[in-house]
Amino acid sequence: MEEQPSKFRIKDLDLFYGDNQALKDVTLEVRSHRVTALIGPSGCGKSTFIRTLNRMNDLIDHVRITGDVLYEGVNIYADYDVIELRKRIGMVFQKPNPFPMSIYENIAYGPKIHGITSKSLLDDLVENSLKAAALWEEVSDRLHKPALGLSGGQQQRLCIARVLAVEPDVVLMDEPTSALDPISTSRIEELIFELKKKYTIIIVTHNMQQAGRVSDTTAFFLNGVVVEYGDTEKIFFNPEDSRTEAYISGRFG
């Protein structure tokens, strides 16, 4: 496991919302083809951090970022085209957010804006993405029905399929199951397990069991600082920092 090359290298990252510092001195390495979980109490900066990786924070006014975020050795804030970056680094949000279009159109949207027009190519992409997101069986006969007619869990898998259709390299997931019931949650966890073979996954979760089940590496955030970072097993069973132990054992957060 140690030999896995690093996908992201984050060095001395500070992020300010106006005068309010949300990330302090974050230094991390994210390994390729692994699932990295980000845990920590509410408001500690997990979402803020994960959104720096595909530059979603650019959308917010008054955000100031210092430090380096290197993706495959390239500084994404200096030397990377943001559209190209987001193509490579997909994102799944906390609340399923399918577009108000048909299931098919939702999946085909990404490839289409990236210039794919061939109908048969799109058809294939839609089918493969839905299969990869374990949704094909359920929706293959209603591809042209509105996506908003799906259940919450199906919608979230659709959003994953939508990301996969762009053929990304990394998939960021910000609490992808927090709005779902236990059965939908476990289906998504299984899916993450599958996806890990092809993609690098970074997932934010409030659910300790989930972090334990799906991730290889875990980072514990507290007040914008990475308190502890390492193999999930070690963080969960043998944490070095007392604050990590306190959080994991449920004393705060």
Partner 1 sequence: MDVSNHTILSRKKEKAAKALLWTAVLLTLAILLGIILYIMVRGFVSRQEKSYFVSPFLEETLKSEETGEYAMKIIVHRQVKISDLTMEDLRTIYTKSRAENWGHYSMQDKRITALAPSRNTPLGKAAETLIAGPEGGFGSYVAYLEDDEEMIRRIAEDPAGIGIIEADTPVTNRKVKVVPVRRIVVAVHPSVKEIIDNRQLSVITEKELKLVLSGDITDWKDLGGHDRPIRLIRPPEAWGLDELVSPSDIPAADSPEDFFRMITDLPDSLGLCFYDDAAAGGLSILEVSRREVKGNLTLSFLLEPPARSGKWGGISTIILNTLFLILFTLLFAAPAGVLAAIYLVEYAKQGPLVSLLRRGTETLAGVPSIIFGLFGNIFFVNTLGLGIGFISSTLTVTMMILPTIIRTSEEALKAVPLSYREGSLALGASKLQTTFKVVLPAAVPGILTGLILALGRVVGETAVLLYTLGSNYELVRGPSSSARVLSLHLYFLFSEAISFDRAFATGAILVFIILLVNYSTTRLIGRAGRMSG
Q: Which residues bind ligand ATP (CB under 6 A)?
A: 17, 20, 22, 40, 42-48, 60
Q: Interface with partner 1 includes 109 (CB under 8 A)?
A: yes
- Interface residue with Mg ion among 30, 38, 47, 163 (CB under 5 A) is 47
Report residue 45 as tokens: 């900066």
Nearer to ligand ATP, 221 or 236 (CB): 221
Alpha-carbon distance of 90 to 173, in angstroms, equals: 9
Work out the end-to-end distance of the chain between its first and last CA atoms, rounded to an integer number of angstroms: 30
CB of 48 vs Mg ion, minimal distance in Å: 8
Give me the residues paired with residue 203 across strands.
37, 173
Alpha-carbon distance of 4 to 30, in angstroms, equals: 10
**How many residues appear in the chain?**
253
Taking the least distance from each CB to ligand ATP, the nearer of 46 and 187 is 46
Site map (CB under 8 A) of partner 1, residues 46-85, x = contact: --------x-x--x-x---------------------xxx
Shortest Å, Cβ 137 to Mg ion: 31
Q: Between residues 7 and 46, which has the closer beta carbon with respect to Mg ion?
A: 46
Tokens coding 30: 């994210």
The item of partner 1, Mg ion, ligand ATP, none sharing an interface with residue 43, based on CB under 5 to 8 Å by kind, is ligand ATP
- With CB under 5 A as the contact rule, which of the stretches 43-51, 55-63, 64-72, 243-251 interacts with Mg ion? 43-51
Which alpha helices (H) appear in the chain, and where do they start and end? 46-53, 82-88, 103-113, 119-132, 136-139, 152-164, 182-195, 208-214, 232-237, 242-248
Structure tokens at 240: 């070095």
Q: Cβ of residue 16: shortest distance to ligand ATP, in angstroms?
A: 9
Residue 146 or 230: the one with the smaller Cβ distance to partner 1 is 146
Nearest distance in Å: CB 146, ligand ATP: 29
For 71, phi then psi, to 5°, come to -110, 120
Footprint of partner 1 on 83-102 (CB under 8 A): 83-87, 90-91, 93, 95, 97-102
- For ligand ATP, the closer CB: 48 or 154: 48
**Do 244 and 228 meet the contact criterion of CB atoms below 8 Å apart?**
yes
17 binds partner 1 (CB under 8 A): no
Instruction: Determine if residue 21 is left, alpha or beta; phi over 0 gives left, psi from -120 to 50 gives alpha, anything else beta.
Output: beta
CB-side exposure of 212: number of CA atoms within 13 Å? 10
